[in-house]
Structures are given as structure tokens and as C-alpha cells.
């Protein structure tokens, strides 16, 4: 969490009554945001917001479909680029074959030998570039099925309710920085307005504490 007034970290600054969160900049005299919020209250509200925003698999599926569409736009040029590079490679390979024929017929020279080496380099570079383009074309992101999202969300709820170190790791990956803006309404006591963004793509990674690929997909693999 960061202070909406100065950008400093908001952390526990008092241990009374279960603890209070406040601006560390204010604690050092560098910010005028003296507002405190009970730690348990802040954590309860944040957890509730995360659950509400990610509680329906259809919503997450819709978001990931938008990501899929945007990624597809970024990769839309690849088929045409592959065709162009294939044509360039074909021309260079024919050029290379001609050089080899000239040398085989005894018409070689130092200039021809240098041209042969340079053409071999271009052929190798084009082959590597084409290989990378073809792999990229095969790894375009595809949104996972709703059933998989439902299963992952259920596991997320289980992790959050255990309140272990894994819960903290999961919460670090889902919300972005939480900006707490001190607000004073027309009536009543001042309060914090919290702003953040949730990273639904974090759900595609392995659960906190686990490593290595799982069945299905990573962010750049097709789903089966």
C-alpha cells in the first residue's frame, strides 16, 4: 500500500488495538497525511474486494478473452512476416548454391569466397529468425476454459482462508499497488479511498509455493 498524498509506503505504525496502518512518510515528518486505519479493518476490506472482483469465473474469462484478442493483434503480422522471410531465405539459398557452383567449376576468387561466407551468414540468420517467428506463431495466448478458472478460483479462496505465508504471496501477485487516498466527505469522519488494479493473469501461474509447469497452459501456451 502506498500513500496517495506523497507516494510513501503505508505500513503498520502502531500496535495499539490490533495495530494501525499509516503513512511512513508522515511518521518521519515528510508528509502531512496523519490518517491511520485499523489494520484488521483495512485487510478485511481488501480481501473482500479481491473476492468480489475475482469471485465469478465468467468475469475472469471475459477479461482473459480481451487479453487474448489484444495479443492476437500483436501477433497478426507474423504470417506475412514469415512469408517475406521465407522468400528472402529462398533467394539467399539460391545465391549460395550459385556461388558453390562457380567455385566447383574452378571460377573461384577471393571476392567470391568472401561473398560465399557472407551469404552463408545471412542464410543462417534468416533460418534462426524464421524458426523464432514460427515458434511465436504457435504460442499465441489463448484464454483458459471457464472450468479451469473456476477450479483455480476455488483454490485461491482456500489459500486465502488459511492465512499462511502462501496467502501473502498470492495477494502480492493479484492486486497492483494499493493507493490509499485520504478523503474528507461533507459529513462524518475522514476516510481512505483505496485504488488498485487486479492482475487476473496472475491466476494462470502456478500457486504460491509451487514451481514448474502445470497441465494446460502458461501465458504463452495453447490450452488443450
Q: What residues form DSSP beta bridges with 12?
A: 21
- The CA-atom distances, in angstroms, between 195 and each of 108, 115, 180, 192, 198 are 71, 61, 7, 10, 10
Over the stretch 90-106, which tens digit does the pLDDT of each residue have?
Answer: 888 888 888 887 777 77
**Per-residue pLDDT at 139:** 65
Q: Distance between CA 16 and CA 53 in Å, rounded?
A: 31
Of the candidates 51, 42, 44, which has an alpha carbon nearest to the alpha carbon of residue 23? 42
Check if the beta carbon of residue 42 is closer than 8 Å to that of residue 13. Answer: no
Pairing of strands 37-38, 179-183: unpaired
**Per-residue pLDDT at 119:** 87
Q: Distance between CA 153 and CA 146 in Å, rounded?
A: 10
Task: Delimit the domains of the chain by residue range.
Answer: 2-49+144-204, 76-138
Q: Is 29 left (phi over 0), alpha (psi -120 to 50) or beta?
A: left
Grid cell listed for 125: 540468420
Q: pLDDT under 50 in the chain at which residues?
A: 212-224
Q: Distance between CA 123 and CA 89 in Å, rounded?
A: 6
Q: Distance between CA 1 and CA 181 in Å, rounded?
A: 10
Over the stretch 43-87, which tens digit does the pLDDT of each residue have?
Answer: 888 888 887 777 778 888 887 888 778 777 777 777 777 788 888
Amino acid at each position: 500500500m502506498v500513500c496517495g498524498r506523497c507516494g510513501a509506503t503505508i505500513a503498520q505504525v502502531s500496535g495499539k488495538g490490533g495495530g494501525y496502518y499509516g503513512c511512513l512518510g508522515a511518521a518521519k515528518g515528510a508528509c502531512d497525511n496523519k490518517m491511520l486505519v485499523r489494520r484488521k479493518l483495512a485487510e478485511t476490506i481488501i480481501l473482500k474486494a479481491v473476492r468480489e472482483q475475482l469471485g465469478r469465473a465468467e468475469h475472469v474469462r471475459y477479461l482473459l478473452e480481451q487479453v487474448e484478442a489484444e495479443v492476437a493483434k500483436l501477433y497478426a503480422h507474423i504470417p506475412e512476416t514469415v512469408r517475406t522471410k521465407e522468400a528472402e531465405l529462398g533467394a539467399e539459398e539460391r545465391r549460395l548454391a550459385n556461388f558453390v557452383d562457380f567455385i566447383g567449376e574452378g571460377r573461384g576468387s577471393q571476392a567470391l569466397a568472401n561473398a560465399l561466407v557472407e551469404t552463408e551468414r545471412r542464410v543462417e540468420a534468416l533460418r534462426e529468425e524464421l524458426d523464432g517467428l514460427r515458434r511465436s506463431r504457435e504460442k499465441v495466448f489463448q484464454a483458459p476454459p471457464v472450468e479451469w478458472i473456476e477450479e483455480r478460483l476455488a483454490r485461491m479462496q482456500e489459500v486465502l482462508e488459511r492465512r499462511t505465508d502462501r496467502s501473502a504471496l498470492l495477494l502480492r501477485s493479484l492486486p497492483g499497488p494499493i493507493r490509499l487516498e485520504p478523503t474528507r466527505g461533507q459529513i462524518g469522519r475522514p476516510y481512505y479511498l483505496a485504488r488498485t488494479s487486479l492482475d487476473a493473469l496472475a491466476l494462470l501461474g502456478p500457486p504460491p509455493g509451487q514451481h514448474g509447469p502445470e497441465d494446460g497452459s502458461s501465458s504463452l501456451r495453447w490450452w488443450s
